[in-house]
Structure 1
Amino acid sequence: MLQLTCAAERERNKLCSTARQKKHEFSVDMTCEGCSNAVTRVLNKLGGVQFDIDLPNKKVCINSEHSVDTLLETLGKTGKAVSYLGPK
């Protein structure tokens, strides 16, 4: 009984966390797979993010609880030009 309750609590926390996350779209001056790998590296290091990279269109869509400023700063660590396009 207790095990079922703990599992239900974990699932509820997971759903609540997902509901708090916001999706944001950024333009990142990526020209090759190495650039997209750099984006992947810095975002994975930040943690707490889910993201999709659209290399041909130079866009990154990020689902996260982090602020836009934190995401901009993190993406900037790639050395590429970055701009915020808005919520997705």
Structure 2
Amino acid sequence: MESAQNVYQYNVQMTCSGCSGAVSRILTKTPGVDKFEVNLEKQLVTVTASIPKEAVLEAIRKSGKPVTAL
């Protein structure tokens, strides 16, 4: 059985490649996250996942960066 794929976008306050790297490391380790794209310039993270939007939001919050779901 395939789980539904959802695409979510988040505004994450990132100021450098270290910030975006921290977000990337967390998303790589998050079960249910299939792929993601971090755009440092736009401070935008796009995630394709089979888990709820709130679960991805909580995972990104672990990076310590201010984040809001769009």
* Structure 1 length-normalised TM: 0.73
| Identity percentage of aligned residues | 38
Higher helix share: 1
Aligned to 2:65: 80
| 3-state SS of paired residue (1:47) | coil
Distance in 1, matches of 2:41 and 2:13, equals 10
Larger RCO, structures 1/2 (Cα 8 Å, 6+ apart): 2
Distance in 1, matches of 2:25 and 2:49, equals 16
Aligned to 2:10: 26
Deviation for aligned residue 1:47: 3.0
Aligned to 1:42: 26
| 3-state SS of paired residue (1:26) | strand
Q: Is there any run of 5+ residues in structure 1 with no aligned partner, and where? A: 1-12
Higher strand share: 2
Structure 1 residue runs of 4+, over 6 Å off?
A: none
Aligned residue identity for 1:80: K
Deviation for aligned residue 1:69: 1.0
* Structure 2 length-normalised TM: 0.91
Aligned residues: 69
Aligned to 1:60: 45
